[in-house]
Amino acid sequence: MGDWQYLVERPHPWRRQLYIKGRKLLASTVWQDMVVNQMSLEEAAENWNLPLAAVEEAIRYCESHQELLKLEAEEERYRLQEQGVSLEPKTTH
């Protein structure tokens, strides 16, 4: 999968994307959190208590594996729907 200093594979029935070494934290979670919350590298590193280099590596990995991340997000969505989990936002009217 590549030579990564901060990312590792973890056993999972269907997920193949990499995790932050020593944490149950997907690289994509860090990346998506940065994008959604418009965080800088430094803010993400502080938020997740990670070295700056780990955040940079997670970004490189995610940007070069977007198809895998998309497929896994679709699989997760499918599995949640099969379990009856509603993925639509609840209205507060």
Q: How many other β-carbons are positioned within 10 Å of the β-carbon of residue 14?
A: 9
7-45 pLDDT per residue, tens: 999 999 999 999 999 999 999 999 999 999 999 999 999
Mean pLDDT along residues 49-56:
98
Residue type for position 3: D
pTM above 0.75, yes or no: yes
Q: Domain coordinates of the chain in residue numbers?
A: 7-82
Asked if pLDDT for residue 88 goes beyond 70, the answer is: yes
Backbone dihedral angles phi then psi of residue 36, each to the nearest 5 degrees: -60, -40
Collapsing DSSP states into helix, strand and coil, what is residue 20? strand
Distance CA 34, CA 73 (A): 17
Collapsing DSSP states into helix, strand and coil, what is residue 24? coil
